[in-house]
């Protein structure tokens, strides 16, 4: 059995776990033990510096902080300053580069026209044809109904097929409940109030969150390995546990496996200062096997003087269904998956002194600000009562 000198054990050093740990120390003076099977903190938002190029590599794909939640914005600013980076995305289609999300610039470039906003609206309504205003059952028809066939087939159809390895006519319409189309020239990707990247990098931000003697971190430590003391059987029921790993794994997959998509990355290095001229380039055509490419150097132009201008690093991103042993990124969320998760959620509710959180623990896709908000709420409503004593 583990040495029970911890008042709270957190399984997973991602943003949910780090936020809970920080709150526990601040509000209750609790002694917190964090464990993570990986060799770093930060979960999928972890980043590291590439020595050759001076680029900050987001190890699990591009992570961009944005929020309209004042509580979350004020909270994260306690631990890091943010740059003034604003995210813009471009896509290559048939050898030509267009701005995303689809906006009046995209529309006029695609149709070699100079439509006014109203003319563009009328055109798209006309191109949606018989699907306009309907409630389609599959993604393909939903896309056409929202933005018309030409734009959908150019920018959405093949990109989505690569993401899901499935013909869009076989995917549920719910995946794209809406497609953003802007009838002006605004190509800001996010519409949130605040946006930016941590000035000193993600890992420095996360280290500050848990820079407290009350918080101990054990990396490369598997919750399901009973040869080490911080394991499930020794802890559950004995001490409050916050679990942010896969919910089906917690229960040894006894009801079946929840399905996820994963992402593979292929790294390329170029003898150039700048390969794409932007941080993210999508590829919407079927003859390019990856969905997008990320040029990390371009996320941080403010670091220009610290970057190598003779070399750059690019990661190509390939999407596929996750198998056992793969990193789960995005829940598949079919009706069957949702029903299975509901059963696991019922089991989770019966676990003594265990709170399930984060995207893996709740089978949900979250942006970073949503994870932090859910962790702050979980601390107040569910975890603090388990920890008991307060510092105040």
Could you confirm whether 261 is annotated as catalytic? yes
3-class secondary-structure state, position 49:
strand
- Residue 310, token pair as written in the block: 């003779």
∠310-296-293 over CA atoms, to 5°?
A: 105
Q: Which of 31, 232, 261, 359 is catalytic?
A: 261
Q: Which of 31, 182, 232, 359 is catalytic?
A: 182
Q: Which of 200, 207, 257, 367 is catalytic?
A: 367
- Residue 54, token pair as written in the block: 């001076």
Host H or E run for residue 27: helix 15-28
Q: Which of 7, 56, 317, 344 is catalytic?
A: 317
Q: Which of 358, 339, 243, 176 is nearest to 8 (CA)?
A: 243
Helices (H) and strands (E) in the chain, counts: 14, 18
What is the maximal distance between C-alpha atoms in the chain?
A: 71
* Rounded distance between C-alpha atoms, residue 73 and residue 372, angstroms: 10
Structure letter (DSSP) for residue 120: H
Could you confirm whether 317 is annotated as catalytic? yes
Is residue 14 within 8 Å of 244, Cβ to Cβ?
Answer: yes
* Rounded distance between C-alpha atoms, residue 269 and residue 332, angstroms: 32
Could you confirm whether 365 is annotated as catalytic? yes
* Rounded distance between C-alpha atoms, residue 311 and residue 272, angstroms: 5
Enumerate the H helices of 136-261 as residue ranges. Answer: 139-147, 149-155, 157-164, 202-209, 232-235, 247-250
Q: Which of 361, 355, 362 is nearest to 384 (CA)?
A: 355
Could you confirm whether 178 is annotated as catalytic? yes
Q: Which of 39, 130, 135, 178 is catalytic?
A: 178
- Residue 366, token pair as written in the block: 């979250």
Burial of residue 305 (CB within 10 Å: 0-12, 13-18, 19+) is exposed
Q: Which of 151, 156, 153 is nearest to 105 (CA)?
A: 151
Could you confirm whether 182 is annotated as catalytic? yes
Q: Which of 90, 292, 295, 363 is catalytic?
A: 292
Q: State the catalytic residues.
A: 178, 182, 261, 292, 317, 365, 367
């Amino acid at each position: 059995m583990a040495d029970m000198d911890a008042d709270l054990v957190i399984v997973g050093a991602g943003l949910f776990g780090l936020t809970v740990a920080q709150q526990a120390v601040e509000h209750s003076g609790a002694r917190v033990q964090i464990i993570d099977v990986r060799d770093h903190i930060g979960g999928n938002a972890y980043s590291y510096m590439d020595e050759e190029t001076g680029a900050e590599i987001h190890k699990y794909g591009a992570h961009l902080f944005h929020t309209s939640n004042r509580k979350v914005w004020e909270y994260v600013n306690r631990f890091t300053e943010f740059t003034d980076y604003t995210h813009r995305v471009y896509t290559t289609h048939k050898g030509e580069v267009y701005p995303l999300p689809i906006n009046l610039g995209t529309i006029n470039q695609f149709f070699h026209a100079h439509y006014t906003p109203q003319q563009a609206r009328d055109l798209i309504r006309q191109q949606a044809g018989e699907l306009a205003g309907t409630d389609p059952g599959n993604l393909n028809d939903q896309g056409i109904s929202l933005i018309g066939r030409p734009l959908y087939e150019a920018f959405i159809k093949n990109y989505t097929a690569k993401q899901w390895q499935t013909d869009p006519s076989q995917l549920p319409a719910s995946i794209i409940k809406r497609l953003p189309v802007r009838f002006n020239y605004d190509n800001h990707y996010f519409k949130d109030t605040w946006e930016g990247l941590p000035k000193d990098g993600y890992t420095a931000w996360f280290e500050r969150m848990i820079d407290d003697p009350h918080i101990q971190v054990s990396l490369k430590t598997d919750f399901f390995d009973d040869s080490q003391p911080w394991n499930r059987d020794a802890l559950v029921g004995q001490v409050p546990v916050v679990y942010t790993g896969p919910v089906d794994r917690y229960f040894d997959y006894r009801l079946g496996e929840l399905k996820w998509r994963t992402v593979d990355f292929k790294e390329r290095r170029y003898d150039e200062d700048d390969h794409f001229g932007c941080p993210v380039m999508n590829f919407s055509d079927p003859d390019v096997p990856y969905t997008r490419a990320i040029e990390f150097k371009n996320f941080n132009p403010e670091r220009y003087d610290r970057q190598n201008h003779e070399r750059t690093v690019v990661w190509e991103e390939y999407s596929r269904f996750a198998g056992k042993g793969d990193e789960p990124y995005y829940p598949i969320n079919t009706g069957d998956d949702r029903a299975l998760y509901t059963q696991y959620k019922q089991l989770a509710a019966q676990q003594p002194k265990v709170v399930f959180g984060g995207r893996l623990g709740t089978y949900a896709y979250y942006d970073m600000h949503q994870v932090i908000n859910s962790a702050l709420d979980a601390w107040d409503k569910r975890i603090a009562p388990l920890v008991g004593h307060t510092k105040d």
